[in-house]
């Protein structure tokens, strides 16, 4: 499988972004997520992971957000949970393999289950959207430490765990397992993209 380069992925973002502002928000976030993942990958215990695949997954995971922007330039927050599936559809239309498409559709929260989708009436086809491979889990995990909400901010592991608790203790447990698997990132260290965020890891402990 040929993995697209960062330049190719940036061009894909530029192609699908409805506005320059949307491109800056989403692509910068994706670069930051890669920066977090790259830091975690420096651990010897993760040396066996495919870093190039993780990089592509981080840079592609949120591309579906662009399809949630209306003609008025506003983001459809009510259907935001669909952004992963929309990204999967974009990559499929662009000819990308399932291995890369799954980084879009299987990174939301700490995983979406068929039961959860049905019981909560979520606007998604009932199915399990769970990160399975280590590379998928790392992209999903790294994504949890930065939010695109304005103002965009970094979240410490404890802050994200507190946020998750409203969705059930099982979600908190799943996140705790990810922390044990990959470790906690050091958000006080320089992460690519922080300069665009104002030079500080706001919200990090």
**pLDDT attached to residue 131:** 98
Rounded average pLDDT over 134-161: 91
- CA distances 37 to 90, 120, 140, 158, 162, Å, are 23, 31, 10, 18, 21
Whether residue 150 is predicted with pLDDT greater than 90 in this model: the reply is no
Burial (0-12, 13-18, 19+ Cβ within 10 Å), 158: exposed
Query: With b meaning 16 or more CB within 10 Å and e meaning fewer, what string describes 171-193?
Result: bbebbeebbeebeebebeeebeb
Mean residue pLDDT across the chain:
91
pTM (2 d.p.):
0.90
Q: Grade residue 203 by pLDDT with cuts at 50, 70 and 90.
A: very low
Whether residue 189 is predicted with pLDDT greater than 90 in this model: the reply is no
Q: To the nearest whole percent, how much of the chain has pLDDT over 70?
A: 91
* Torsions phi, psi for 170 (to 5 deg): -65, -35
Whether residue 198 is predicted with pLDDT greater than 70 in this model: the reply is no
Tens digit of each residue's pLDDT (9 = 90 or more) over 79-135: 999 999 999 999 999 999 999 999 999 999 999 999 999 999 999 999 999 999 999
């Amino acid at each position: 499988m040929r993995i697209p380069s960062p330049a190719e992925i940036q061009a894909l973002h530029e192609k699908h972004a409805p506005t320059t502002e949307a491109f800056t928000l989403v692509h910068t976030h994706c670069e930051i997520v890669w920066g977090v993942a790259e830091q975690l990958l420096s651990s010897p215990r993760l040396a066996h992971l495919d870093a190039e695949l993780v990089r592509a997954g981080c840079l592609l995971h949120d591309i579906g957000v662009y399809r949630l922007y209306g003609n008025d330039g506003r983001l459809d927050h009510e259907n935001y949970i669909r952004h992963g599936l929309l990204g999967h559809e974009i990559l499929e239309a662009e000819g990308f393999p399932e291995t890369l498409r799954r980084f879009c559709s299987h990174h939301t929260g700490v995983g979406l289950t068929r039961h959860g989708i049905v019981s909560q009436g979520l606007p998604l086809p009932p199915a399990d959207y769970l990160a399975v491979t280590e590379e998928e889990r790392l992209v999903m995990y790294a994504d949890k430490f930065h939010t695109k909400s304005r103002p965009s901010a970094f979240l410490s592991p404890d802050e994200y765990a507190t946020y998750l608790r409203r969705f059930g203790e099982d979600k908190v447990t799943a996140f705790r397992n990810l922390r044990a698997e990959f470790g906690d990132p050091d958000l006080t260290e320089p992460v690519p993209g922080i300069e665009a965020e104002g030079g500080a890891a706001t919200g990090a402990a």
